Chains A and B, each alone.
Chain A
Amino acid sequence: MDYSNVDLKKIANKIRHDIIEMVYGANSGHPGGSLSITDILTVLYFKEMNIDPEEPDDPGRDRLVMSKGHASPGLYATLAERGFFPTSLLSGFRKLSSKLEGHVHRGVPGVETSTGSLGQGLGIGVGMALAGKLDRRDYHVYVILGDGEIEEGNVWESMMAGSKYKLSHLIAILDRNRVQLDGFTDDIMPMGNIRAKAESFGWNVIEINGHNYDEIVSAIERAKSSTGGPTFIIANTVKGKGVSYMENTAKYHGSPPASREEYEKAISELDMELIQ
């Protein structure tokens, strides 16, 4: 679709509002890693992905696997804003009467697979891309990984498989926000040179600012045109992006605004962003 950067910014802002409302309403959930990937999800679902909310099972559709399944508020809000289900349902997040499970759940329209336990989504993406190749379909498979998540060995097993089978329609996007539950990724388990690691596993690597729409679009376009093998996009992002007190801290990895005041501050900061 033909959205301008200003349009995309407005949509992302709406999604960020939804995220805050959802985790505040549930009094739990993961805002930090949802806010960091909001701009990427916005570009994917509103500009790049070949999807149709009216035909969620179309065999030719692009697929997205939210491997970091705790970013469910980000994905659910994006799907709702894109029209897969009414945004009014977002308030059911994490509640017994709702399908919107705490971690990404396949029962939700538009969700391709359940995730939550980390490290499994890239393998699922490998399987989806293999199937596309076997069926001679042209769809792309996007897998969103957390930078804490890539400490899981399963990820690197699947990196090998993606390379072995030259899955040029497989695109991994690393949400490089440098923060995981217990603190900074470099303190918890330093991953060293991720670019060199991914390259040495046989992937094309592109590094971008994950909040810059032009860079996100151009990276995805380049990844799509790759023929030699899978692409690994390192998206440098800010954990908690858009809410000042949530930025660059582990505190809001898995915690909602701690008070009514914090909630209102988050909402007013997001409101201000659009006025500027």
Chain B
Amino acid sequence: MTAESLRDAYGNTLVELGKAHDDLVVLDADLSSSTRTSVFGKAFPDRFFNMGISEQSMVTTAAGLALSGKKVFASTFAVFLTRTYEQLRQSVCYNNLDVKFVVTHAGLTVGEDGATHQIVEDVGIMSGLPNMHVVVPGDSIETASVIHYLFEKTKTPFYVRLSREKFEVVNDRGYEFRLGKGVTLKDGSDITILAYGAMINFSLKAADILKAKGIDARVINMSSIKPIDRDLVIKAARETGRVVTAEEHSIYNGLGSRVAEIISESYPVPLRRVGMKDNFGKSGKAWELFDYFHMTADDIAKASEECFRVEKYENIP
């Protein structure tokens, strides 16, 4: 497998869309060379607005542009967008506007920059906003497909979370993103691992580890966090009887919490959640940090095995 940049896929897709659509405008807050919106800015300087280190201004200006008929993409680092929670809430989500926030450098994979920049709460924060949708692409192919989908098929606010790091490509070149649909990357009958973003690759490796132990794991890409593929989660619980979630995010208010809600309401089975646990990150090399915070393939495999030690659920086949 090869690793490819999700950010590059984002910037290049913006340029592609910009060529065909005059109504696309892009905003950034002094991080355009990192978020890759600079590529769009270079191609279409009249439709690119660098708002400076003023995220509140970026978000409210984005709202004004959308209210005037523009299709707006706005980017910064994930951690900095969260300071505009209330602008997102009132000016964008309450007005239900066509603004796509594509943020980068989310989660632990920002590495050396450390805890101040490693936001692991954003998926929860954004998912709580009415009208907001939340998507976390798992590789460069999915990123490009998500951006196309959002531009061409939606008119409501979206939060798209990207990492700084390159991710190994897990999807086929012809892959097409569908909102609210999980994608089964590997079938299996004994347990289901639900993951998104950086944790997809770890989850596939965990499935290999489990296979060697005679456990047949299903792995599903849950890139559409809100809306979530509720039916697929329940199907997985019913068919495999055990569920593990894996996310480069806090287990609180992220995929883990959402899945816990769904299966406890609809089909209770043993569940383990791999992710950050109400703590801040730490400076270090991106991939070392997964080790440090117990979020590697081994940790997912271990959590999966724990599910087999639970015996009291009626729903275990």
Residues of A at the B interface (CB closer than 8 Å) are 59, 65, 106, 112-117, 119-132, 134-135, 153-154, 157-158, 160-161, 164-165
**Interface presence of B112 (CB below 8 A):** no
For the complex, would chain A's binding face be called helix, strand, loop or mixed by DSSP majority? Answer: helix
Of the residues B47, B65, B87, B89, contact of A154 by C-beta under 8 Å: B87
Q: B49: which A residues are within 8 A, CB to CB?
A: 130, 165
Of the residues B61, B89, B90, B95, contact of A126 by C-beta under 8 Å: B61
Beyond A130-B65, A157-B57, A160-B54, whether A120 also contacts B47 by CB under 8 A is no
| A65 to B54 CA separation, bound complex (whole angstroms) | 20
Instruction: Please list the 3 inter-chain residue pairs (A to B) with the smallest Cβ-Cβ separation, ordered nearest first.
Output: A127-B64, A123-B60, A131-B68
Closest Cβ of chain B to A55, distance in Å, is 15
Question: Which residues of chain B in 8-63 are interfacial with respect to chain A, using CB atoms and an 8 Å cutoff?
Answer: 25, 46-47, 49, 51-52, 54, 56-57, 59-63
Q: Are B68 and A120 in contact (CB under 8 A)?
A: no
Q: For B29, give the chain A residue with the smallest CB separation.
A: A157
**Interface presence of B91 (CB below 8 A):** yes
**Interface presence of B86 (CB below 8 A):** yes
| A210 to B145 CA separation, bound complex (whole angstroms) | 53
Q: Are A127 and B90 in contact (CB under 8 A)?
A: no
Beyond A114-B95, A154-B87, whether A122 also contacts B60 by CB under 8 A is yes
| A122 to B60 CA separation, bound complex (whole angstroms) | 8
Q: A120: which B residues are within 8 A, CB to CB?
A: 56, 60, 63, 86-87, 90-91
Q: Are B66 and A127 in contact (CB under 8 A)?
A: yes
Q: Are A115 and B61 in contact (CB under 8 A)?
A: no
Beyond A114-B94, A115-B90, whether A124 also contacts B54 by CB under 8 A is no
Beyond A123-B60, A160-B52, A165-B49, whether A113 also contacts B65 by CB under 8 A is no
**Interface presence of B130 (CB below 8 A):** no
Q: For B22, give the chain A residue with the smallest CB separation.
A: A134
Beyond A117-B86, A117-B90, A131-B70, whether A124 also contacts B63 by CB under 8 A is yes
Q: Are B56 and A153 in contact (CB under 8 A)?
A: yes
Question: Other than the known A114-B90, A121-B60, A123-B61, what 11 A-B pairs have Cβ atoms closer than 8 Å?
Answer: A59-B69, A113-B64, A120-B60, A120-B91, A124-B60, A124-B64, A126-B64, A127-B60, A127-B66, A131-B68, A131-B70
Question: Which residues of chain B in 53-111 are interfacial with respect to chain A, using CB atoms and an 8 Å cutoff?
Answer: 54, 56-57, 59-70, 86-87, 89-91, 94-95
What are 14 A-B pairs at a CB distance below 8 A? A112-B67, A113-B63, A114-B95, A117-B90, A120-B87, A123-B56, A123-B63, A123-B64, A127-B67, A128-B65, A128-B67, A131-B68, A154-B57, A157-B57
Q: B68: which A residues are within 8 A, CB to CB?
A: 127-128, 131-132, 135
Closest Cβ of chain B to A59, distance in Å, is 7
Q: Are A131 and B90 in contact (CB under 8 A)?
A: no
| A56 to B86 CA separation, bound complex (whole angstroms) | 28
Q: For B70, give the chain A residue with the smallest CB separation.
A: A131
Q: Are A158 and B61 in contact (CB under 8 A)?
A: yes
Q: A65: which B residues are within 8 A, CB to CB?
A: 64
Q: For B54, give the chain A residue with the smallest CB separation.
A: A157
| A209 to B94 CA separation, bound complex (whole angstroms) | 35
| A160 to B56 CA separation, bound complex (whole angstroms) | 12
Of the residues B54, B61, B86, contact of A130 by C-beta under 8 Å: B61
| A196 to B165 CA separation, bound complex (whole angstroms) | 46
Q: Are B70 and A126 in contact (CB under 8 A)?
A: no
Q: B57: which A residues are within 8 A, CB to CB?
A: 123, 126, 154, 157-158, 160-161
Most buried by A among B61, B66, B86: B61
Q: A132: which B residues are within 8 A, CB to CB?
A: 68
Of the residues B51, B59, B69, B86, contact of A131 by C-beta under 8 Å: B69
Q: Are B25 and A126 in contact (CB under 8 A)?
A: no
| A125 to B63 CA separation, bound complex (whole angstroms) | 9
Q: Are B46 and A124 in contact (CB under 8 A)?
A: no
Closest Cβ of chain B to A103, distance in Å, is 9
Q: Are B59 and A123 in contact (CB under 8 A)?
A: yes
Q: Are B65 and A131 in contact (CB under 8 A)?
A: yes
| A200 to B38 CA separation, bound complex (whole angstroms) | 29
Q: Are B46 and A134 in contact (CB under 8 A)?
A: yes
Q: For B57, give the chain A residue with the smallest CB separation.
A: A157
| A178 to B65 CA separation, bound complex (whole angstroms) | 32
Closest Cβ of chain A to B55, distance in Å, is 8
| A129 to B64 CA separation, bound complex (whole angstroms) | 8
| A120 to B91 CA separation, bound complex (whole angstroms) | 7
| A123 to B51 CA separation, bound complex (whole angstroms) | 11
Q: Are A126 and B60 in contact (CB under 8 A)?
A: yes
| A115 to B86 CA separation, bound complex (whole angstroms) | 11
Q: For B72, give the chain A residue with the smallest CB separation.
A: A127
Q: For A126, give the chain B residue with the smallest CB separation.
A: B61
Of the residues A128, A134, A161, contact of B25 by C-beta under 8 Å: A134
Q: B59: which A residues are within 8 A, CB to CB?
A: 123
| A113 to B65 CA separation, bound complex (whole angstroms) | 12
Of the residues A119, A124, A158, contact of B67 by C-beta under 8 Å: A124
| A165 to B46 CA separation, bound complex (whole angstroms) | 11
Q: A129: which B residues are within 8 A, CB to CB?
A: 64
Of the residues B47, B61, B86, B94, contact of A124 by C-beta under 8 Å: B61
Q: B91: which A residues are within 8 A, CB to CB?
A: 113-114, 120, 123-124
